Structure 1
Amino acid sequence: MKEKVLNILQKYYGYKSFRKGQENIITSILQGEDVLAIMPTGGGKSLCYQIPALCLDGITIVISPLISLMKDQVDSLVTMGINACYINSSLSSEDYNNILQGIINNEYKIIYVAPERLESAEFLNIIKSKEISQIAIDEAHCISQWGHDFRVSYKKIPYFINNLTTRPIITTFTATASTEVRRDILNMLCLIEPKVFITGFDRENLYINIVKSSAKNKYLLEYVENHKTENGIIYAATRKEVEKIYEGLLKREINALKYHAGMSNEDRKINQDKFINDEVNIIVATNAFGMGIDKPDIRWVIHYNMPQSIENYYQEIGRAGRDGEKSECILLFTPGDI
C-alpha cells in the first residue's frame, strides 16, 4: 500500500516525499480509522484526504464551508485527471441537476459539498445508494461555538452521516483548535476511537514582525514601494480603510486590487481571480478575503489594523508562503487600535 500511495503522490501531485505528518495521517485513514488532524494553514491538509480518496473504493465526500476553495481544488483535481465536482450555492439549477445525474452515473471520485447542501433530501436519497468510503470534514473547528468561525450548518453533519446506509471513515481537519474545540469535534461528530494528529503550528518559513508605528500609512507605502513586484495582501479592518489604502496606492501608480463586502459578488470574484492568476500582485482587503485561497507564492501579508483574534491572525498570515519559501508577516500596531 505504501508503494501505491507514493506512486499517487508523485503521479498526481509531483512530490517524491510527504510533508511533516502527512504520511501517518494517510496511513491511519487507509487502515479505516477515524482521524482528527490539526495541521498548520498551508501544511497540506487537502492531500491527506485526497490521496486516501484515490486509494479507497467508492466516493469521498469533502464537506467544506469555502466556496472559493471548492472551485480551486476541483479545478486542480480535474486538471490532474481526477473526476471531481462541487455542490454549493454558486451552481445554477441546471448545473446542480447535471451533477446529481453524474453522481447517479458514478462519474465522480471526489465530491465537495457545502454543509448547507447536506439537508437536501434529493442529494441524500441519491448518495445513500452509493458506496462512500470517506467523509472528510474541512475547517472542522466550525462545528464548535468555542471556535473562531462557528457555523450552525456544521451541526447538521452528524445527522447526514447517521442517515447513510453504511458509515464511512470520518476524517476531520483544521488549522486551529483549542482543547475545547478539539473536544467538540470529537464528540459532536461522533468519531469512533479516532487517531488525533497535531503536526504543530509553527510555519518556519514565515517571519512575523510586529511594528509599533505612529505613522502606519508612511510605513505601509514605503514597504509596498519596495516590494511591489512580489505577491502580497494588505488586510484592513473596515471597508473605509480598504478604500483609503487602495486609493493611496493608485495615486502612487502602484497597481493594486481591493476586496470587501461592500462590493458586488461579481466584482469581488473578478478581483480575486485576477490576484490568483497573477494579473495583479497586490490586493487590499478586509478579512472577507482569503478563506480557501490557495495561492502558493504570496510573499508578504501586512495587517494595517489589529485582527479580530489570535485565531483570525493565524489563519490570515497562513496565506503567505504556502510554497515553503521565506515570506514576511507584518502587523502594524498603535496603542489606539485596542
Structure 2
Amino acid sequence: MDRFIRGEFQLIFLSPKCLNRGRAWREILKSNIYQERVIAFVVDEAHLIKNWGDDYRPEFSKLGEIRSLLPQQTNVMALTATATTVLRDHVIKILGMKRVSVVEVSPGKDNLFFSIKEFKSIEENFIPLMKELKDKKLSMERTFIFCRRPIDCAELWSAFIRFLKDDITEPPGLPLKIPEVRLVDYYTGCTQEAVRNVILSQFSKPSCLRVVIATVAFGLGVDCPDIRRVIHFGVPEDVETYVQQVGRAGRDGKLSSCVMLYGPGVYRRFSNDHILAYCKSKDTCRRDFLYSITGTFVRF
C-alpha cells in the first residue's frame, strides 16, 4: 500500500467496491501527490453505473463521488459496448463529465443469428444440446447459457449430470469434483473462487469445457473468442443487458447463434417492456427490432 501512497504506479486498476471500501483510497486521492499527478479517471463497463448502481451494487453509483475528489481538469473516459441515449446521459451526469465528446459505433455484429424459441421444459428444450454434447464431446462448439437466477443454474446443471452421467467428464468417469475435466460447468456468485478461476481459465483457452451455465456473475470483460451459441434461460432486465450478453458470441467473427427461451416457465420478473416486446415479436426482423427498439441504436 505504501507504494500506492507514494504514487509509484502509472496505471492503477481498481474495482468500485475497492474504491469505496472505507476511506483509504479517498484520502489517497486527496493527497498532494495524486492531486498533482492524476491525468485521467477511466471507467470501463460504464453501463453498470446505471444497471447495477441503483440497487444491486451501489458502489457503482458512488463513482461520481470518487471523481469529485480529483481536480476539476482531470480527464474522464467512460467505456461501454451498450448505451442508449438515456443511459449515456445518466453516466455523464453521475461522473460529472463536462464538454463531452461521444464516439459511437453500432453494437451489432452481422455474424450473429437471433431467434426466440418457446420454452416447454428443461428436458424438452435442453436434451438436444445434451445429446449433442454426449455424441461430439470435445468437438462440440462452445455454448454459453445465461440464467437470471442461481437456482436455475443449479437445476440445469443437475439435469446435465443426470443425462450425461459418466460422460460429463473427459475422459468419461473421472470424479466430478475435478473442475478441469468437466465438459459442463456452472458459475454463480456462490461458486467457490478457486472453481470460478478454473472455469474462467478453461473457457478462455483450448480445453475440455464445452458448456458454461452462468448468471451475470460470470466475469465481465472475459475474452472467450470461440463461443458459438448463447442461450438465455430467463429474460434479461432490458435490451442493453441482452445486447451486452449476446456480445459474447462469435467474437472471432464466425457465424454464431443467440437463442432466447421464452414462455410461461421462464423467469422474467423485472424485465422491462422493451425486452418483453422483443420476445413476443413474430413478424419483424429480430436484428432490426433489437437494435432499433429504443430508437437509439444504429440500424443495419
Give the counterpart letter for 2:80 in structure 1.
Answer: T
**For residue 128 of structure 1, what is the aligned residue in structure 2?**
34
**For residue 223 of structure 1, what is the aligned residue in structure 2?**
129
The answer to whether residue 156 in structure 2 is matched with residue 245 in structure 1 is yes
Query: Hey, what's the Cα distance between the residues in 1 that align with 2:148 and 2:114?
Result: 19
2:39 partner SS: strand
Give the counterpart letter for 1:269 in structure 2.
Answer: N
**Following TM superposition, by how much is the alpha carbon of 1:155 offset from its aligned partner in structure 2, in angstroms?**
4.0
Query: Hey, what's the Cα distance between the residues in 1 that align with 2:237 and 2:64?
Result: 30
2:221 to 275, 289, 292: 292
2:240 partner SS: helix
Change (3 A) 1:217 1:187: same
Query: Hey, what's the Cα distance between the residues in 2 that align with 1:163 and 1:214?
Result: 53
**For residue 259 of structure 2, what is the aligned residue in structure 1?**
330
Query: Hey, what's the Cα distance between the residues in 1 that align with 2:40 and 2:155?
Result: 47
**For residue 115 of structure 1, what is the aligned residue in structure 2?**
16
Cα deviation 1:160-204 (Å, max 9, x = unaligned): 334335732211112332333222222232222111122113121
Q: Structure 1 regions of 5+ residues with no counterpart?
A: 1-96
**For residue 292 of structure 2, what is the aligned residue in structure 1?**
none
Query: Hey, what's the Cα distance between the residues in 2 that align with 1:105 and 1:239?
Result: 41
The answer to whether residue 209 in structure 2 is matched with residue 304 in structure 1 is no
Query: Hey, what's the Cα distance between the residues in 1 that align with 2:154 and 2:93?
Result: 43
Aligned pairs for 1:152-171 within 5 A: 152-165=58-71, 167-171=73-77
Query: Hey, what's the Cα distance between the residues in 1 that align with 2:213 and 2:197?
Result: 14
The answer to whether residue 3 in structure 2 is matched with residue 101 in structure 1 is yes
2:253 partner SS: coil
Cα deviation 1:63-116 (Å, max 9, x = unaligned): xxxxxxxxxxxxxxxxxxxxxxxxxxxxxxxxxx2xx5167363x332211224
Change (3 A) 1:122 1:210: same
For the aligned residues, what is the CA RMSD? 2.8
Query: Hey, what's the Cα distance between the residues in 2 that align with 1:192 and 1:314?
Result: 28
**Following TM superposition, by how much is the alpha carbon of 1:210 offset from its aligned partner in structure 2, in angstroms?**
1.0
Percent identity (aligned): 27
The answer to whether residue 75 in structure 2 is matched with residue 173 in structure 1 is no
Q: Structure 2 regions of 5+ residues with no counterpart?
A: 169-182, 269-300
The answer to whether residue 234 in structure 2 is matched with residue 234 in structure 1 is no
Change (3 A) 1:235 1:205: same
1:257 to 150, 162, 185: 185
1:266 to 181, 194, 219: 194
Give the counterpart letter for 1:323 in structure 2.
Answer: D
**8 Å Cα contact 1:290-1:316 kept in structure 2:** no
Give the counterpart letter for 1:333 in structure 2.
Answer: Y
**8 Å Cα contact 1:290-1:319 kept in structure 2:** no
TM-score (structure 1 length as normaliser): 0.61
**Following TM superposition, by how much is the alpha carbon of 1:214 offset from its aligned partner in structure 2, in angstroms?**
2.6
The answer to whether residue 92 in structure 2 is matched with residue 201 in structure 1 is no
**8 Å Cα contact 1:307-1:313 kept in structure 2:** yes
**8 Å Cα contact 1:216-1:304 kept in structure 2:** no
1:174 partner SS: coil
**8 Å Cα contact 1:216-1:332 kept in structure 2:** no
TM-score (structure 2 length as normaliser): 0.67
**Following TM superposition, by how much is the alpha carbon of 1:130 offset from its aligned partner in structure 2, in angstroms?**
5.3
**8 Å Cα contact 2:120-2:265 kept in structure 1:** no
**Following TM superposition, by how much is the alpha carbon of 1:259 offset from its aligned partner in structure 2, in angstroms?**
1.3
**8 Å Cα contact 2:119-2:263 kept in structure 1:** yes
**Following TM superposition, by how much is the alpha carbon of 1:242 offset from its aligned partner in structure 2, in angstroms?**
1.9
